[in-house]
Amino acid sequence: MNFPGNIFGYLRCLGAKWFRRSHLADEMEDEVRSHLEHRADDLARTGMSRAAAERQARIEFGARGRYREESYQALGGSLIQGVFQDVQFAVRILRKSPGFVCAAVVTLALAIGANAVVFSIMNAFVLRPLNVPDPQSVYELQHGDEASGYESYPNYLDIRDRNHTFDSVMASNILPVGLDSGENPTREWVVEVSGNYFDGLQLQPYLGHFFHATDEHGPNSAPYIVLSHAFWHTHFQDDRGVIGRVVQVDRHPFTIIGVAPPGFAGTLLFFNPGFYVPIVNHSQLGVNDMNARESRWIFMTMGRLKKGVKPAQAMADLNAIGAELRRSYPKQVGNMTFSLASPALYGDYLGKPVKAFMAGLMLLAALILLAACANLGSLFSARAADRAKEVALRLALGSNRRRILRALFTEAILVSLLGGAVGLLGSVVLLRALSAWQPFPRWPIHVPVNPDARVYLVALMLTLASGLLFGAVPVKQILHANPYEIVKAGSMGRAGGKISLRDVLLVAQIAICAVLVTASLVAVRGLAHSLHDDFGFRMDNTMLVDTDLSTAGYPVDRVPAMQKRMIETLETTPGVESVGLNDNVPLGDGSEDTTVYTDATTALEPVNAACHPTVYSVSPGYFHAAGTALLQGREFTWHDDQGAPRVAIVNPEFARKLFGSPENAMGRFFKLRDGARAQVIGLVEQGKYLALTEAPQPAIFLPILQNPSTNTWLVVHSNRDPVPLAQAMRKRLQQLDPGLPFYIQPRIGEMDPILFGPRMATMALGVMGMMGAMLAITGVFAMAAYSVSKRMRELGIRIALGARRREVLLSALGRAFKLLAVGSGTGLLLGILASRVLAMIVLKATPDDPLVLTGAVLAMAALGLVATWIPAQRALGIDPMTLLREA
């Protein structure tokens, strides 16, 4: 009682100050007192006693409340004062039922909070534009046939120089580098950008200056670094003297020339690079030949549209260039069409699923709010019925219905504002934590989702709208109230068997809750299942060590020897069973695909490709270490090198695509992208490569010595929990080369990015399901409590006449149970239907699972039990004697 009392006291005080009302009220009271004293003086002069005279004076004056109200109106404050009066009245009424207020505020706080959080995330991901001047005219040049923006450097140059529709076309590429600024070398993520990048985005440096297109004078001509503001802050402690400093990047000297503005963290929304380096220096940071037209290594190209040019015109322009390039370089360039997309979420690649997911989440949040409103609506109308006598009296005494409705709405809005404020406060705390959260430690990925003015506005609108919505539920009840009947009968009760709006609302709410409970159970089960699935490699007792040898400055010719030494070093670490090397790991965060041709193909052009398998370069012993079963043939050996015939190990899907069936594949030949013939010497089990939910994909494995790569993933299998091994492995690798930055993690850790979507979906559903359950509990509770309190007398009579506990319960709560059953049934059915959609995000999410069904039914039953427990106790605890005496 004390807690809400304090709040209300404070609010009232605040309100009084705000409207300067207390001063006015004091003056009015003074004037009435003066009037009464003068009148009493006159009356006393006629011989009345002073006390009698004062009494008479008060009687003559009439109702003071009316005087006050009319005076306020006369003083012109009618609107504000009226509202204030309403508020004051509402506060007084609400103070009388702190339990009701708390329940309503908590319910609404949850619902509004959920909406604020979801909207804030959507705001950050989808609605907020890129933080550059005139963001609307910056587009990613996305491929027409797939949601990606990859491009080769020569193609980029041609697009940049030949188009007529863009002011500038920029290129950017993400890669890890080894940064040595005097301390231990660390691995940092950087963005290689074309010289026109900052100018094209129309950015101004925070400190120093940017590099420009005019700085590009051929390969490795611009060894400059522009730091991101955050990296400058964390790694250089805001040191302004950093400009002009020379640091080692992949063991090449680079000069820091500037710091980017604080609001700009790259053109990819979620990716926060440490610094920017000119793309012309690419060959110092990677082994790719940047001038190979067939190698599409640039992550993304972007353009800023010329003023007045429509996206469609630009697309036509780009497609014309694409066709031209295709004609000039048929061997290197495939089908080349373009569409324009927003660069923030890498075009449609992330943009589409993120938008769909956010829309789904927003819909769910809206459902929660709707459920909360339904809930509060029935709470309010139950209250209106409870207060029937009061309302009837006020009507009978001449108050008009409009006035009473206004009071009801004021109460509703007051409760909703309180709930909205609490909810918003909670969501701000949560969003702060989310903004600082970095889900994948290997990647500089985080998104600031702090709420802005738009979020606050939406929260306020939602709060007011829901207040009006649930405030409107009891309106009909009030409008149709007949004061005479109510005062006579004592309640605004409804006819026995009729289905009321309140029942429908409650059923809808229980159904919504059941949908959420079912869906979240399905998702949790699916996620648990999917982690025990067979991915074609071992998950437990396995660690991954990854590095890119180019970040330590290894020239291509020294890479294989170093890789072999790394394998040997780790193999001799105590506890390690086997070690294998791969240039990318399946279900990891990188992958490469290639183009292959049948052995009979002579015109090696992309259009004649037989298949586009994922390709891995692996060391001898890789399959053994990774736990991938070799079905036929042999593993690679260290003799499968540049001098030996080209060989490959393939998976069943690839064999099926190229040779008709896995049995046919052994010993057969196919042609690689460069035209070399490779012989199939082994067949390994089918695995998952890019996504948990993918259909069987073709994949080939090539010997690392024949297909070298600086990208190095070492799969370390040990005979015990490998985590304690990490220390020993780190030490040994550092002894091998102290300047080599690398990263060690358990196998499952590398799957974080792939599991991120399903995990988030499951968590979101779980949270929503829990909130739905809480809402349904309050809803059923309100209904049951109401129905018991309305029928106290009847139940008392039944008990007095010898009714048993079961019968009492049935008659008191039968309706609640019936509604619960109908709602749960409907909800379960809808939930099962909705779960089919879920299966697209969460592998193995299927509602055809006895555990899910029992779980959902049990959850709903438990929910019913919790919600009706107190009313049931109350019904059973009725003492007929007391009741009859009171009546």
Partner 1 sequence: MGDQAQILPGTLDLLILKAVSLGPLHGYGVLLRIGQISGQALLIEQGALYPALFRLVRQGLLTADWGISENNRKAKFYELTVAGRKRLGEELEGWNRLAAAMSTALDARPEEV
34 binds partner 1 (CB under 8 A): yes
Q: Which two tokens stand for residue 728?
A: 């020993």
665 with 598: CB under 8 angstroms?
no
State the minimum distance, in angstroms, from the CB of residue 74 to partner 1. Answer: 4
State the minimum distance, in angstroms, from the CB of residue 403 to partner 1. Answer: 18
Among 71, 148, 573, 826, binds partner 1 (CB under 8 A): 71
State the minimum distance, in angstroms, from the CB of residue 90 to partner 1. Answer: 24
Nearer to partner 1, 69 or 216 (CB): 69
Residue partners of 239: CB distance under 8 A and separation at least 6: 232
List 609's β-bridge partners, or say none: none
Among 10, 18, 61, 869, binds partner 1 (CB under 8 A): 61
Burial 745-771 (b: 16+ CB within 10 A, else e): bbbeebbbebbebbeebbebbbbbbeb
73 binds partner 1 (CB under 8 A): yes
Closest CA to 838 of 157, 357, 196, 272: 357
74 binds partner 1 (CB under 8 A): yes
Nearer to partner 1, 41 or 145 (CB): 41
State the minimum distance, in angstroms, from the CB of residue 80 to partner 1. Answer: 14
State the minimum distance, in angstroms, from the CB of residue 26 to partner 1. Answer: 12
Instruction: Please state, as a whole number, how many other Cβ atoms lie within 10 Å of the Cβ of residue 555.
Output: 10
State the minimum distance, in angstroms, from the CB of residue 66 to partner 1. Answer: 6
State the minimum distance, in angstroms, from the CB of residue 21 to partner 1. Answer: 15
State the minimum distance, in angstroms, from the CB of residue 45 to partner 1. Answer: 10
Q: Which residue has the tokens 């294989």?
A: 560
The stretch among 8-16, 69-77, 192-200, 488-496 that binds partner 1 (CB under 8 A) is 69-77
Nearer to partner 1, 73 or 608 (CB): 73
Nearer to partner 1, 63 or 607 (CB): 63
State the minimum distance, in angstroms, from the CB of residue 40 to partner 1. Answer: 10
Q: Which two tokens stand for residue 622?
A: 């890789």
31 binds partner 1 (CB under 8 A): yes
List 713's β-bridge partners, or say none: 546, 582
Nearer to partner 1, 59 or 603 (CB): 59
Vertex 623: Cα angle to 723 and 570 (nearest 5): 40
Q: Which of residues 371-410 bind partner 1 (CB under 8 A)?
A: none
Closest CA to 447 of 432, 460, 459, 429: 432
Query: What is the distance between the alpha carbons of residues 739 and 755, in angstroms, rounded to a whole number?
Result: 32
State the minimum distance, in angstroms, from the CB of residue 68 to partner 1. Answer: 10
Closest CA to 689 of 751, 635, 631: 751
Vertex 464: Cα angle to 479 and 418 (nearest 5): 105
| DSSP track, 122-178 | HIIIIISPPSSSSGGGEEEEEESSSS---B-HHHHHHHHHH-SSEEEEEEEEEEEEE
Nearer to partner 1, 24 or 243 (CB): 24
Q: Is the dihedral of CA 717, 719, 725, 731 positive or negative?
A: negative
Instruction: Please state, as a whole number, how many other Cβ atoms lie within 10 Å of the Cβ of residue 879.
Output: 11
Query: What is the distance between the alpha carbons of residues 278 and 719, in angstroms, rounded to a whole number?
Result: 46
What binding mask, one character per residue, do residues 407-436 give for partner 1 by CB under 8 A, x or -? Answer: ------------------------------
Residue partners of 221: CB distance under 8 A and separation at least 6: 215, 280, 281
485 binds partner 1 (CB under 8 A): no
Among 2, 46, 47, 63, binds partner 1 (CB under 8 A): 63
Cα maximum dimension of the chain: 134
Among 20, 38, 677, 804, binds partner 1 (CB under 8 A): 38
149 with 299: CB under 8 angstroms?
yes
Residue partners of 334: CB distance under 8 A and separation at least 6: 326, 606, 607
Query: What is the distance between the alpha carbons of residues 489 and 363, in angstroms, rounded to a whole number?
Result: 44
The stretch among 59-67, 310-318, 445-453, 664-672 that binds partner 1 (CB under 8 A) is 59-67
Among 30, 239, 533, 721, binds partner 1 (CB under 8 A): 30
Query: What is the distance between the alpha carbons of residues 769 and 776, in angstroms, rounded to a whole number?
Result: 10
Among 29, 70, 452, 540, binds partner 1 (CB under 8 A): 70
Q: Which two tokens stand for residue 294?
A: 């067939």
Q: What is the 3-state secondary structure (H, E, C) of 99-124?
A: HHHHHHHHHHHHHHHHHHHHHHHHHH
Q: Which of residues 496-515 bind partner 1 (CB under 8 A)?
A: none
Q: Which two tokens stand for residue 406?
A: 């206004």
Instruction: Please state, as a whole number, how many other Cβ atoms lie within 10 Å of the Cβ of residue 25.
Output: 15
State the minimum distance, in angstroms, from the CB of residue 102 to partner 1. Answer: 40
Q: Which two tokens stand for residue 883?
A: 């009741």
Nearer to partner 1, 34 or 400 (CB): 34
Query: What is the distance between the alpha carbons of residues 668 and 797, in angstroms, rounded to a whole number?
Result: 91
Among 29, 37, 452, 794, binds partner 1 (CB under 8 A): 37
Nearer to partner 1, 34 or 873 (CB): 34
State the minimum distance, in angstroms, from the CB of residue 60 to partner 1. Answer: 6
The stretch among 27-35, 174-182, 390-398, 687-695 that binds partner 1 (CB under 8 A) is 27-35
Nearer to partner 1, 53 or 672 (CB): 53
The one-letter code for the residue type at 444 is P
239 binds partner 1 (CB under 8 A): no
State the minimum distance, in angstroms, from the CB of residue 58 to partner 1. Answer: 10
126 with 355: CB under 8 angstroms?
yes
Helix 348-386 / helix 98-122 crossing angle, nearest 10 deg: 170
State the minimum distance, in angstroms, from the CB of residue 71 to partner 1. Answer: 5
The stretch among 37-45, 108-116, 469-477, 508-516 that binds partner 1 (CB under 8 A) is 37-45
Nearer to partner 1, 65 or 241 (CB): 65
Query: What is the distance between the alpha carbons of residues 525 and 855, in angstroms, rounded to a whole number?
Result: 11
Query: What is the distance between the alpha carbons of residues 266 and 226, in angstroms, rounded to a whole number?
Result: 12
State the minimum distance, in angstroms, from the CB of residue 816 to partner 1. Answer: 50
Q: Which of residues 107-126 bind partner 1 (CB under 8 A)?
A: none
Among 76, 182, 218, 241, binds partner 1 (CB under 8 A): 76
Q: How many residues bind partner 1 (CB under 8 A)?
A: 23
State the minimum distance, in angstroms, from the CB of residue 397 to partner 1. Answer: 17
79 binds partner 1 (CB under 8 A): no
Query: What is the distance between the alpha carbons of residues 71 and 28, in angstroms, rounded to a whole number?
Result: 8
565 binds partner 1 (CB under 8 A): no
Q: Which residue has the tokens 């992330």?
A: 350
State the minimum distance, in angstroms, from the CB of residue 28 to partner 1. Answer: 8
Nearer to partner 1, 32 or 243 (CB): 32
29 binds partner 1 (CB under 8 A): no
Nearer to partner 1, 46 or 735 (CB): 46
Nearer to partner 1, 30 or 485 (CB): 30
Q: Which two tokens stand for residue 186?
A: 């660390």
Among 39, 406, 446, 657, binds partner 1 (CB under 8 A): 39
The stretch among 60-68, 87-95, 258-266, 537-545 that binds partner 1 (CB under 8 A) is 60-68
Task: Kindly give the pairing relationship between strand 699-703 and strand 669-671.
Answer: unpaired
Nearer to partner 1, 75 or 127 (CB): 75
Q: Which residues contact partner 1 (rule: CB under 8 A)?
A: 28, 30-32, 34-35, 37-39, 41, 60-64, 66-67, 70-71, 73-76
